[in-house]
Structure 1
Amino acid sequence: MSAYGPEHPRNLIPELCNQFYHLGWVTGTGGGISIKDGLKKSQCTPLFMLAYKERGAGAVIHTHSPHAVRCTLLYDKEFTITHQEMIKGIKDAKLGRFLRYDENLVVPIIENTPFERDLAGSLGEALRQYPGTSAVLVRRHGVYVWGDTWQQAKTMTECYDYLFEMAVEMKKLGLDPAFNPEAQNKPVN
């Protein structure tokens, strides 16, 4: 039996990675999670460190979700969706609150590089240009999501993944995920 509790990063990270594997978010060599533990951080890439320093994150999740990757192929510089219930699960750092379903959720998309460590510059720039974002998509690679706690990061990752999948399916049907139904002129009777 481990000397550490179930929520200690030594036990929690493998358990979360196991769950993420079964969700298809981490396969082969892809994906990971980093959790702040007191003053120390578990194994961090420079990309995780950016979220800790720039956003004061408590945890960072990186997935190779197929839904996220497909979104990076369907959008140019940013992913945008509105009027979806799961948007309410996303915290906007600039606003300091969770978004409403009828607000625009915008996630920047940065270009992939041959070596993951080389993404730090463009990820840092995305964090500066999008001060409210709690996620960054990487073209043909996946997504980084961070939250105040590991629980919040996990919940937001689930919400993002749902929204990425929804957007892909909407586009297949010829629907615009960024369309605001309330902005339409209502017919006069």
Structure 2
Amino acid sequence: MTAELARECARYAAMGWMRGTSGNLSVVTQRDPLRLAVTVSGVDKGEITAADSVVIDENGLAVDSDKVPSAEAGLHARIARVAGAGAVVHVHALAPVVAAEHWPDGVVLKDLEMLKGFGRHDHEEVVVPVVRNSQDMAELGDAFEKGFDPRTPALIVARHGVYVWGADLVQARHRLECLEWLLRFKVETRKDTFTGRHA
């Protein structure tokens, strides 16, 4: 599991979605009690190794380790518990953050083939929820849970980044890659609401 976390981090770092030491990944290692392996805080994700992870509990606290988990570990655990996710990916891709600036009440996606790769049908109207940023993971977790739709495996944190989840790290990655494309399309084709012209 830990080697897989390192490999996925390197992939995202190469894509420019984990700049500096930003972003974090987690994978569920057991359900009862809930335990996740999550990347540690403050490590360059392009240089992360299998040793740079820590097991956390359902509250995001390290279990039997003095390593410091990612600051967002508590939200990873909350998503895993509420959504039943096997893996959670948090990156700082630009398209989701820009989309949240334009549609702070949720980003509506419809009639786009790539929705199938995100786990939805292309004819469905999909709303990706947006929540206000906070350094309080309990507050973010409450906002996530309030707007949680089990059909939509993503959450945008305004002016921060995006969380996407799946049964495992590979499914979460595929969903994230498709969602980033969808949100980039949405942003780049948006129209000025006053003139009707492309902004």
Matched, 1:106 2:127: yes
Matched, 1:42 2:37: yes
Partner letter of residue 130 of structure 2? I
Q: 2:84: which partner in 1?
A: 56
Does the Cα contact within 8 Å between 1:61 and 1:144 map onto a contact in 2?
A: yes
- SS in structure 2 of the partner of residue 160 of structure 1: helix
1:150-161 equivalences under 5 Å are 150-161=169-180
In structure 1, the gaps of 5 or more residues are 1-8, 92-98, 177-189
What TM-score do the two structures reach when normalised by structure 2? Answer: 0.73
What count of residue pairs does the alignment treat as equivalent? 156
Q: 2:48: which partner in 1?
A: none
Matched, 1:123 2:141: yes
In structure 2, the gaps of 5 or more residues are 39-55, 57-72, 194-199
Answer 1 or 2: higher relative contact order, Cα 8 Å, separation at least 6. Answer: 1
Partner letter of residue 173 of structure 2? K
Please state how far the C-alpha of 1:23 moved relative to its aligned partner. 1.2
Matched, 1:166 2:194: no
Matched, 1:72 2:127: no
Partner letter of residue 124 of structure 2? E
Does the Cα contact within 8 Å between 1:110 and 1:126 map onto a contact in 2?
A: yes
Partner letter of residue 50 of structure 1? R
- SS in structure 2 of the partner of residue 30 of structure 1: coil
Which one is further off, 79-88 or 127-136? 127-136
CA deviations over 1:60-117 (Å, ceiling 9, x no partner): 00010011111111112101111111101223xxxxxxx211111111100112x2xx
CA distance, structure 2, for counterparts of residue 46 and residue 38 of structure 1: 16
Matched, 1:26 2:44: no
> Of 143, 165, 169, which residue of structure 1 is paired with 2:162?
143
CA distance, structure 2, for counterparts of residue 56 and residue 48 of structure 1: 11
- SS in structure 2 of the partner of residue 71 of structure 1: helix
> Of 6, 12, 19, which residue of structure 2 is paired with 1:14?
6
- SS in structure 2 of the partner of residue 144 of structure 1: strand
> RMSD of aligned C-alpha atoms?
1.8
What TM-score do the two structures reach when normalised by structure 1? Answer: 0.76
Query: Greater share of helix residues, 1 or 2?
Result: 1
Partner letter of residue 153 of structure 1? A
Please state how far the C-alpha of 1:175 moved relative to its aligned partner. 8.0
CA distance, structure 2, for counterparts of residue 120 and residue 108 of structure 1: 17
